[in-house]
A and B are shown apart, each in its own frame.
Chain A
């Protein structure tokens, strides 16, 4: 299925009937460190594996910024 990640439509393969966020991040090859927001809400890392992602979700993968 196609999922909107950082404003771009990305083809992601769901290996089972539902796609978890951690599965998506692995396929997208997201480089640590990052935080994830689904539809504008940040989610805790400990929830990545039990959050189910659908094709209508907007995923944002955000890098930390500390510079001044």
Chain B
């Protein structure tokens, strides 16, 4: 049963509805969609605020971390009064003030495979705003298994990357990308991050998510987009299915 926009919603989202090819139909699809986002750190704060403002119907946030003063430089859903509180609490409060019609919920723990599988079946898309390889691999493995699109973003220093994985016979998965770097990839260097860089990458993830949910425009499936914030360069690479991938070459 497709969601019909109320007159208030038609006004609220009019600037998107005005976009040629997006129209009422895509806005309705967006209002009917359910997104699962892992992480409300730098990427997650930017991604969630645009998804909620743009009119995604349901958003579930997952994060077990608490707000630290060093987060405030870039994690824009949390404020000074939230230090020491769960990130999902401040994130949900800020997002609800932004759009009371969005169905926002949150989980304050790291999900087991079983818990993640349950969540995946209740959502249409997954946004990976996590900060570690173990979580990224877990999300990829289960998204592939349950055939859910995965929007992956990452940022460090003055660099960012965005990539979407839409499970199919021909498209690569996240591990097809991560295995290109070989085994020794766990670097623990505290490298720093420039505030707007996570904002840019998180915003790109929100854009990708909207495109996947509505079918509007072209997604970054089988492509990797790299952003060099220091020298102002965007580069798009082609990513192929790896013949020896342990995740996506079983079928």
> Known: A34-B181, A66-B156, A68-B154. Is A42-B237 also a contact (CB below 8 A)?
yes
A68 with B130: CB separation less than 8 A: yes
User: Which of these, A33, A40, A42, A67, contacts B182 with CB under 8 Å?
Assistant: A33
B184 with A66: CB separation less than 8 A: no
* Least CB separation from B178: chain A residue: A64
Interface residue total, chain A, C-beta cutoff 8 A: 20
> Known: A65-B161, A68-B43, A68-B130. Is A35-B238 also a contact (CB below 8 A)?
no
Chain B residues with CB below 8 A from A45, complex form: 180, 182
Q: How many A-B pairs fall under 8 Å by CB?
A: 76
Contact with A along B219-246 (1 / 0, CB 8 A): 0000010100001010111111011000
CB distance from B227 to the nearest CB of A (A): 10
A42 with B180: CB separation less than 8 A: yes
Is A13 an interface position by the 8 A CB rule?
no
* Least CB separation from B155: chain A residue: A67
How far does the alpha carbon of A35 sit from the alpha carbon of B233 in the complex, in Å?
A: 18
Is B42 an interface position by the 8 A CB rule?
yes
B136 with A66: CB separation less than 8 A: yes
Is B133 an interface position by the 8 A CB rule?
yes
B155 with A68: CB separation less than 8 A: yes
How far does the alpha carbon of A33 sit from the alpha carbon of B187 in the complex, in Å?
A: 9
How far does the alpha carbon of A66 sit from the alpha carbon of B185 in the complex, in Å?
A: 10
Among A35, A36, A65: residue with most chain B CB under 10 A? A65
Among A32, A35, A67, A68: residue with most chain B CB under 10 A? A68
CB distance from A68 to the nearest CB of B (A): 4
B133 with A66: CB separation less than 8 A: yes
B238 with A64: CB separation less than 8 A: no
CB distance from B97 to the nearest CB of A (A): 24
Is A23 an interface position by the 8 A CB rule?
no
Interface hits, A33-68 → B, CB 8 Å? 33-37, 40-42, 44-45, 60, 62-68
Contact with A along B155-178 (1 / 0, CB 8 A): 110011100000000000000011
How far does the alpha carbon of A65 sit from the alpha carbon of B129 in the complex, in Å?
A: 12
B182 with A68: CB separation less than 8 A: no
Interface hits, B25-64 → A, CB 8 Å? 39, 41-44
A44 with B242: CB separation less than 8 A: yes
